[in-house]
Amino acid sequence: MNCRLALVALCLVLGPVPGTAEQIGDAEQGATIFASQCKACHQIGEGAKNRVGPQLNRIFGRRAGSVPEFNYSKSMERMGSDGLTWTLTTLDAYIANPKALVSGTRMNYRGLPDPAERAALLAFLREWSDRPQDIPESEPTALKTDPDLSPEILAIKGDPDYGEYLASECQTCHQADGSDQGIPSITGWPAEDFVVAMHAYKQKLRPHPVMQMMAGRLNEEEIAALAAYFATLE
């Protein structure tokens, strides 16, 4: 009986589908925006070719000014060689106001001021870039939940079962028995050291990309729960 009541209570707290990532934007609306704002100069989709502007297939993850056989402005070429790569963030800034990012761009466009419309357009453009299933390192397709703000996560703080579930993600690489060949042991690590190290990864002070990503999706309570869990493992 207790068990059943707990389950009902948990359903009420968590709702049926907690932990949902936010979509970039409304891709259907984005298609409409593309047709009215971009299509006169840019092609996208199957068989897209360079016109007044470069074709936009696979723009996500691409270096600025790098579509073969397209005649870019000097300004765009310079930004490309300086390292400008098209991501959600850089494309959003460029579409908001092209000259903010590339002063001498030939893209004669005033900019799209509404953030929701830009998000919709970006969601549409993303559909024509690499699929993460095939190219896992390609740009994300949804927006990360902020672990420090997620109400579903904050509601389950201090739960030892949750600590154990979180730890299962660590144990794909860090062995519970404390072996440390190639990957350091975190078993029996003092909780304080654990917390400090995870925060250093979260702030990207420590350089390891896998750990930056893992720590980046944990909030303070989750880090504390993990520290407590691994400190007591023998």
Partner 1 sequence: MLNRRHFIGTGIVAGTLLTAPSVWGQAKPKVVVIGGGAGGATAARYLAKDSGGAIEVTLVEANPIYTTCFFSNLYLGGFRDFESLQHNYDKLAGGGVTVINDTATGVDAAARTVTLAAGQVLPYDRLVLSPGIDFRDGSVPGWSLEQHAEIMPHAYKAGPQTQLLKKMVEEMPEGSVFAMIAPPNPYRCPPGPYERISMVAHVLKQKNPTAKILVADPKDKFSKQALFEEGWQKHYPGMVEWIGSEFGGGNVEVRPEAMEVVIDGEVTKVACCNVIPGQMAGKIAAIAGVTDDKGWAPVDPFSMKSKADPNIWVLGDASAQGDMPKSGFSANSQAKVAAMMIRGELTGSKTFPARYSNTCWSLLDTDDGVKIGASYEPTEEKIASVESFVSQTGEDAALRKATYEESLGWYAGITADMFG
**Nearest residue (CB) to partner 1, 52 versus 210:** 210
Shortest gap between Cβ of 180 and partner 1 (angstroms)?
8
**What would the x/- binding string for partner 1 be over residues 175 to 214, using CB under 8 A?**
xxx-xxxxx-------------------------xx-xxx
Q: Are 102 and 76 spatial neighbours (Cβ–Cβ below 8 Å)? A: yes
* Span 56-85, contacts to partner 1 by CB under 8 A: 58
Phi, psi values for residue 102, rounded to 5°? -130, 95
Shortest gap between Cβ of 225 and partner 1 (angstroms)?
11
- Candidates 35, 70, 89, 165; binder of partner 1 (CB under 8 A) is 165
- Candidates 81, 89, 171, 232; binder of partner 1 (CB under 8 A) is 171
Candidates 28-36, 111-119, 161-169, 226-234; binding stretch for partner 1 (CB under 8 A): 161-169
| Residue 130 binds partner 1, judged by CB under 8 A | yes
Give the residue from 168, 145, 138 showing the smallest Cα distance to 229.
168
- CA 98, CA 10: separation in Å to the nearest integer? 48
- Candidates 50, 85, 145, 219; binder of partner 1 (CB under 8 A) is 145
**Nearest residue (CB) to partner 1, 20 versus 103:** 20
Helix, strand, or coil (residue 133):
coil
Say which amino acid occupies 77.
E
Contacts of 52 (CB under 8 A, 6+ apart): 40, 41, 42
| Residue 35 binds partner 1, judged by CB under 8 A | no
Give the residue from 159, 156, 154, 93 showing the smallest Cα distance to 122.
93
Shortest gap between Cβ of 44 and partner 1 (angstroms)?
16
CB atoms within 10 A of CB 191: 16
- CA 84, CA 102: separation in Å to the nearest integer? 10
Shortest gap between Cβ of 113 and partner 1 (angstroms)?
26
Q: What does the block give as tokens for 43? A: 């092609």
Shortest gap between Cβ of 47 and partner 1 (angstroms)?
13
Q: Are 111 and 98 spatial neighbours (Cβ–Cβ below 8 Å)? A: yes
Please name the residue that has the structure tokens 């016109």.
51
Shortest gap between Cβ of 67 and partner 1 (angstroms)?
14
- Candidates 11, 100, 116, 196; binder of partner 1 (CB under 8 A) is 11
173, containing H or E segment? none
User: Which residues of the shown chain bind partner 1 in the complex (CB under 8 A)?
Assistant: 3-8, 10-11, 14, 16-23, 58, 130-145, 152-153, 156, 159, 161-162, 164-166, 168-169, 171-177, 179-183, 209-210, 212-214, 216-217
